[in-house]
Structure 1
Amino acid sequence: MKKILDVKNLSVSFHVYGGEVQAIRDVSFDVKAGEAVAIVGESGSGKSVTAQTIMRLIQTPPGKIKAGEVLLDGQDLLKLSEKEMQKVRGNKIGMIFQDPMTSLNPTMTVGKQIMEGLVLHQRLSSKAAKARAIELLKMVGIPNPETRIGQYPHQFSGGMRQRVMIAIALACNPALLIADEPTTALDVTIQAQILQLMKDLQKETNTSIILITHDLGIVADICDRVIVMYAGQIVETGTKREIFRNPKHPYTKGLLKSLPRLDQDKNEPLIPIFGTPPDLIKPPQGCGFCERCDEAMHICETEIPERTVLSDTHAVRCWLQHPYAKQQGALGGKEASV
């Protein structure tokens, strides 16, 4: 299957008063045509920074892309000028931001905000752009689109505003849609509607999706493949089935144990991940999860884990899964070594 996006060895830092925050550290992944990929992890793991870097929305300074490539259909987005990048945003890549109320312009009608990209990228006339905007509002399930197109964001509910954001993101039929926490501010019923809408639109348009979320329930519903991030690094990747049924990284296991399950005894307590993420101004010399891991070995404190390939679709960065660890029968604990 053709790769739409290929991110290679991406590193991003932010220079702040206290020093250099190494927000993204050597991140590599790809997205194939028509595929839905989830990037999951707790706050501060680097999910949103990864998305913003792909879109070239990192403010410089304080941000700086230190290394790597972001290839969209073979073209490195990091080498484009800002003028060239403006032709990519909203055209080849669409993005749904976390909070639609702050992402939409309160002084412009939703119709004008949808039409803006159509006029800029597809050179449509005002009349044709308006007709397309009405079509998009109807497609995302907004009733009376002919009337609603002339209304302002404050006249829409939270769920309706998110639908408008999806319409804007899909206006120019992008090859890739990045959804950054698209259901965070919505109630459960509206969340389900938005997720169903995204699934339906993906089938209709064959758009590839990167879904950034901390909600693993959403991932199970909509995504094909999962990328788990921690402390600015990818610690595990796999298909939805591999991650949920056979997680290998202790952090991935911890995320799943901290969530309620339908097949779980109601009296069985949830197990939180104790501790806090490391300070990325001074990231750990070894594994970023070492201080919170009950199975950590001595090598975890001093060496960043190598990438261990478990199958064609499943890979993990954990010394416990390294072939040498398995050969020596290391089952965890601070006394074990590799």
Structure 2
Amino acid sequence: MTEKLLEVKNLAVSFSAQGGEVQAVRGVSFHVSKGETIAVVGESGCGKSVTAQSIMRLIPEPPGKIKGGSIHFNGRDLAALSEKEMQKIRGKEIGMIFQDPMTSLNPTLTVGDQITEGLLTHQDISKADAEKEAVDLLRLVGFADPEARLKLYPHQFSGGMRQRIVIAMALVCKPSLIIADEPTTALDVTIQAQIMELFKEIQEKTGVAIILITHDLGVVAQAADRINVMYAGEIIESGTVKEIFYDTQHPYTQGLLASVPRLDGDRSKPLIPIYGSPPDLYSPPAGCAFAQRCEYAMEVCSKYAPPVTYLSGQHQTMCWLQDERAAGMRGPKVTIK
């Protein structure tokens, strides 16, 4: 069995706000093995980014707080470490790629200064040697003439190029895990494909593990090994890519698949939206969080939280439709070929 690099167990994160407490992440559990790519997908506001920031301990306290659970990385519980201890891990052992590369980069510093900063912080290395490492990294992420690129500023690059620079910054200290939070947001589909292909090439060359956070199932179809589907702060279905795309069990995952544009079949048919809105996490529902939007909802769904049903070694879901007493209630499966 592949060794687990990261294991998150029953993670709960809340934010104090006017009028109460927002329960943004509610008992999330998953793991990442060495050299593996997992995806965390779901609508905006479902808790994907909060989960990622909690792993990096970037949740501002207050108003945020890790209320429970553990985050074990290489044998250490990150949730229990001090800020000083976490500073030694961020960038060096775990790299992070944030959503918007333009706001992630300092407009007043050259690209070379920003890439070498991590090396100079975490390693005993000279400025000249750090710049050589930066040149190699820019070449790795697809830049021609990387020596000249080091002297340029972020505004002198296109959006796709800035994203590659941010990826290089995340790789600079050779971390064993990279968290990529919506790395293809605001990029056109051609550049999206290039960035996803770049992740695959980097993983093959370096063996780094990747957590890919996105709202788009289509983006992760060719990139991920396993997929965790989040809704209202919970992972409601998880499994291998094949299991999620070809043996979907949760109505919410079916809805996400049905809303993805198709290249085959009748293109004149409109996309099928998921009607309604996510629940108010000031006061999460007692039962299934998706019940109010689910066309297959039963009385039990709104009263009691569904248990986790293990469908195979890696495929699991939280849905009352899996109960034997709900036989005949399931809708047709939705798949993407």
- Fold-level match, TM-score > 0.5? yes
CA contact (8 A) 1:297 1:332 kept: no
Structure 2 residue 275 is the aligned partner of structure 1 residue 274: yes
> Offset of 1:109 from its aligned partner?
0.9
Partner in structure 2 of residue 256 of structure 1: 257
Rounded Cα–Cα distance in structure 2 between residues aligned with 1:197 and 1:294:
39
Rounded Cα–Cα distance in structure 1 between residues aligned with 2:261 and 2:95:
33
Partner in structure 1 of residue 286 of structure 2: 285
Structure 2 residue 181 is the aligned partner of structure 1 residue 183: no
SS of match in other structure, 1:154: helix
Partner in structure 1 of residue 235 of structure 2: 234
> Offset of 1:332 from its aligned partner?
5.9
Residue identity opposite 1:331 in structure 2: M
Task: Give the alignment of 1:44-193 within 5 angstroms.
Answer: 44-193=45-194
Partner in structure 1 of residue 16 of structure 2: 15
Residue identity opposite 2:296 in structure 1: E
> Offset of 1:249 from its aligned partner?
0.4
Rounded Cα–Cα distance in structure 2 between residues aligned with 1:186 and 1:151:
21
> Offset of 1:325 from its aligned partner?
2.7
Partner in structure 2 of residue 325 of structure 1: 325
SS of match in other structure, 2:276: coil
* RMSD over equivalenced CA pairs, Å: 1.2
For residues 26-50 of structure 1, give each alpha carbon's deviation from its aligned partner in whole angstroms, at most 9, with x where no partner exists: 0000001111100000001000000
Residue identity opposite 1:73 in structure 2: N
CA contact (8 A) 2:218 2:260 kept: no
> Offset of 1:282 from its aligned partner?
1.0
Rounded Cα–Cα distance in structure 2 between residues aligned with 1:192 and 1:69:
34
Rounded Cα–Cα distance in structure 2 between residues aligned with 1:177 and 1:184:
17
Rounded Cα–Cα distance in structure 1 between residues aligned with 2:65 and 2:88:
22
> Offset of 1:267 from its aligned partner?
3.2
Task: Give the alignment of 1:16-31 within 5 angstroms.
Answer: 16-31=17-32
> Offset of 1:315 from its aligned partner?
0.2
> Offset of 1:330 from its aligned partner?
5.4
For residues 48-79 of structure 1, give each alpha carbon's deviation from its aligned partner in whole angstroms, at most 9, with x where no partner exists: 00000000000001101000100001110011
Residue identity opposite 2:287 in structure 1: G
Output the TM-score relative to the length of structure 1: 0.95
For structure 1, the 5+ residue unaligned runs are 334-338
Rounded Cα–Cα distance in structure 2 between residues aligned with 1:77 and 1:304:
29
Rounded Cα–Cα distance in structure 1 between residues aligned with 2:315 and 2:330:
21
SS of match in other structure, 1:107: coil
For residues 233-257 of structure 1, give each alpha carbon's deviation from its aligned partner in whole angstroms, at most 9, with x where no partner exists: 0000010001011100000001111
For residues 65-118 of structure 1, give each alpha carbon's deviation from its aligned partner in whole angstroms, at most 9, with x where no partner exists: 000100001110011111110010001100110001001111111111111111
For residues 245-292 of structure 1, give each alpha carbon's deviation from its aligned partner in whole angstroms, at most 9, with x where no partner exists: 110000000111112223322233321110000010011111000000
SS of match in other structure, 1:13: strand
Rounded Cα–Cα distance in structure 2 between residues aligned with 1:267 and 1:105:
44
Rounded Cα–Cα distance in structure 1 between residues aligned with 2:70 and 2:328:
36
Which 10-residue stretch deviates more, 11-20 or 258-267?
Answer: 258-267
For structure 2, the 5+ residue unaligned runs are 332-337
Rounded Cα–Cα distance in structure 1 between residues aligned with 2:272 and 2:147:
50
Partner in structure 1 of residue 209 of structure 2: 208
Partner in structure 1 of residue 335 of structure 2: none
CA contact (8 A) 2:4 2:31 kept: yes
CA contact (8 A) 1:296 1:332 kept: no
For residues 294-317 of structure 1, give each alpha carbon's deviation from its aligned partner in whole angstroms, at most 9, with x where no partner exists: 111111111111100000010000
Output the TM-score relative to the length of structure 2: 0.96
Percent identity at matched positions?
Answer: 62
Residue identity opposite 1:172 in structure 2: C
Rounded Cα–Cα distance in structure 1 between residues aligned with 2:330 and 2:136:
57
Rounded Cα–Cα distance in structure 2 between residues aligned with 1:246 and 1:6:
25
> Offset of 1:19 from its aligned partner?
1.1
CA contact (8 A) 1:294 1:332 kept: no
Rounded Cα–Cα distance in structure 2 between residues aligned with 1:169 and 1:128:
18
Rounded Cα–Cα distance in structure 2 between residues aligned with 1:109 and 1:262:
41
